[in-house]
Structures are given as C-alpha cells and as structure tokens.
C-alpha cells in the first residue's frame, strides 16, 4: 500500500544533509521527538481511553485515575490496575511499535520516544530511548519510602515494599490526574531542541503532552501528526496524516530511514 504522506522537498534535503553530517562528523544533527498515545497500541488490542462511550474499560476516568478515587476506594483502583497489568500478557507489539523500535535502533541522530501509555509494548518491541511520562503498569511505587519496583503481579493484597518492608503503601506507578508527569524537564528540553516532532495516536485532550506540539513548533521543528481521526490538536500541526498507526508509522519510518 502506498504511504499516505510525503516528506516535502526541503525537509527531505535537510534530513539527508543531517544524516550525512551525522555520518561524517559522528555528531548527529537531526533530533527527533516522538509522542505516542493510546492509538499506537489500539491495533494490539489495548483499549484507548476515550472510546465512543466515554468510558475506559467500563469506568469513568475520574473513578480510577485520580488520587481522590484511590483514597475513596483503594480496592477498586488496585483491582482495576491489577487487571490491566495482567492483560498485558495477552497482547503483543504491533507494526507501529516495531517500526518505532527500528527507528530507535537505526537513527544516527538524537531520538526520544515519549509515551503516555502505561503498557510495555514499546519496550517489548525493542525501543530503548523511551520515557513513560504517565508511569507504567509494570512498576509499583512505595509511598512510604518513595522507591519504585518492577512489578508483575497483583497489588490488591497490599504486599510489603521490597525495600522498606512497609505493608499497605504500594500503589500503581501511574500518574493520575492532578499528579506531575515523569521527567518533564528532560522531555521539554528535548522537545524544544528537536527538528522533527512526531505525534502518534493521541487525542490531544490531556496536558502537558497536548502542548508539546506548540513548544516544538515555536522552536522551528517540523510537526507531524499520525492519527486515525483528526484530534483536538490537529490544527496546530504542520501536517496531519489520517489512518491506522500500523500502516502509517512503518511507512513514515521507512521514508525517514531511506534518507540516511
């Protein structure tokens, strides 16, 4: 199938020059930042957040994704994320995750993949230059000693913290509404320094991620959105390509890498 997007002539020439400079000077010139959202995992069978019914796996977001919800009904919230964590064993990375991992492996310049997703499909595909800005299902946070631990099993039974031994203080390492996303300083630095900002499968409803395109555009980056439908942020991108990530992302990556 033909790719549904095209790199403009000047962008193509610029990227080619950047790739050559990267080879000859051993100092990458072109910097790519990629933001992903739930849409990149949709074809793997992970439900998006804002489906037509407005519910996330049958729950209102404010009933399972706020500190207040956790304080009100910790068993509901722990059980909800325990189920999401267990469900990761039944899904696998798709063509979009694999293409982004290939770009990570082969791009000679700087690259940072910032995901809002709490699944582990980017790393299972092989991406390494990756930040989970909204946390991860496979991590637990001890609020007693402020340590984070790789976590594969349930939290509902309030296991003790492996570091301090306190029971009842381990919670999902998920950034809920009203909490500060991870590594914001590093992300903003990368966004403001990038030449290409690529957004994939996100509705543009949730800040600060929805504002990254403005930071990148102000800094002079080329901004590209790949999404199934027009998003809340589409008007602020230089280019929007519509279609499934499993088709658009491999084509985009192929084109970028073919310039090197």
Which residue from 11, 137, 194, 206 is in contact with ligand APR, where contact means CB under 6 A?
A: 206
Piece of the chain touching ligand APR by CB under 6 A; list 18-26, 70-78, 223-231, 252-260: 223-231
Contact 198, 171 (CB under 8 A): no
- The per-type count for the chain, helices as H runs and strands as E runs, is 10, 9
Enumerate the H helices of the chain as residue ranges.
Answer: 9-25, 39-42, 61-64, 67-72, 74-87, 95-106, 121-125, 184-193, 212-218, 245-258
111-141: b (≥16 Cβ within 10 Å) or e: bbbbbbbbbbbbbbbebebbbbbbbbbbbbb
User: What's the min distance (Å) between Cβ of 116 and ligand APR?
Assistant: 3
- With CB under 6 A as the contact rule, which of the stretches 79-87, 153-161, 162-170, 222-230 interacts with ligand APR? 222-230
Q: How far is the CB of 163 from ligand APR (least distance, A)?
A: 26
Residue 206 Cβ vs ligand APR, minimum distance, rounded to whole Å: 4
| Tokens read off for 249 | 């992302």
74-133 residues near ligand APR, rule: CB under 6 A = 116
Stretch that binds ligand APR, among 123-131, 136-144, 148-156, 200-208 (CB under 6 A): 200-208
Binding status of residue 233 toward ligand APR by CB under 6 A? no
Cβ nearer to ligand APR, comparing 65 with 187? 65
Residues with a known catalytic role: 134
Q: What is the DSSP letter of 145?
A: T
Q: Of 260, 250, 253, whose CA–CA distance to 95 is shortest?
A: 250
Among 91, 130, 193, 228, binds ligand APR (CB under 6 A): 228
Which is closer to ligand APR, CB of 56 or CB of 107? 56
Helix 245-258 / helix 95-106 crossing angle, nearest 10 deg: 20
Q: Give the C-alpha distances (Å, rounded to integers) separating 196 from 34, 38, 102, 151, 191.
A: 8, 21, 17, 34, 9
- When the beta carbons of 48 and 73 are compared against ligand APR, the nearer one is 48
Interaction pattern, residues 32-61, with ligand APR; x per rule: CB under 6 A: -----xxx--xx----xxx----------x
CA distance 198 to 258: 17
Q: Which is nearer to ligand APR, 49 or 151 (CB)?
A: 49
Q: Rule CB under 6 A: choose which of 205, 218, 219, 258 binds ligand APR.
A: 205
The contact set with ligand APR (CB under 6 A) reads 37-39, 42-43, 48-50, 61, 65, 116, 134, 201-203, 205-206, 227-229, 231, 244-245
């Amino acid at each position: 199938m033909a790719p549904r997007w095209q790199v403009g002539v000047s962008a193509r020439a610029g990227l080619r020059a950047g790739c050559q400079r990267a080879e000859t000077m051993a100092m990458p010139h072109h910097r790519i930042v990629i933001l992903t959202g739930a849409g990149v995992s949709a074809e793997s069978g992970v439900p998006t957040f804002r489906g037509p019914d407005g519910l996330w796996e049958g729950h209102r977001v404010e009933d399972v994704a706020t500190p207040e919800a956790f304080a009100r009904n910790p068993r509901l919230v722990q059980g909800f994320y325990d189920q999401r964590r267990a469900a990761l064993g039944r899904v696998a990375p798709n063509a979009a995750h694999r293409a982004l991992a290939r770009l990570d492996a082969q791009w000679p310049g700087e690259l940072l993949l910032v995901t809002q997703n709490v699944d582990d499909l980017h790393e299972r595909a092989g991406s390494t230059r990756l930040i989970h800005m909204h946390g991860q299902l496979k991590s637990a946070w001890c609020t007693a000693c402020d340590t984070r631990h790789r976590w594969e099993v349930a939290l509902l039974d309030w296991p003790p913290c492996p570091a301090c031994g306190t029971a009842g203080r381990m919670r999902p390492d998920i950034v809920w509404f009203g909490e500060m996303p991870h590594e914001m300083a590093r992300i903003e630095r990368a966004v403001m320094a990038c030449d290409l900002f690529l957004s994939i499968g996100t509705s543009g409803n949730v800040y600060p991620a929805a504002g990254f395109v403005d930071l990148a555009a102000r800094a002079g980056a080329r901004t590209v959105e790949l999404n199934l439908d027009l998003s809340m942020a589409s008007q602020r991108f230089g280019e929007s390509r519509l279609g499934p990530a499993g088709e658009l992302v491999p084509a985009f990556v192929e084109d970028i890498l073919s310039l090197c």
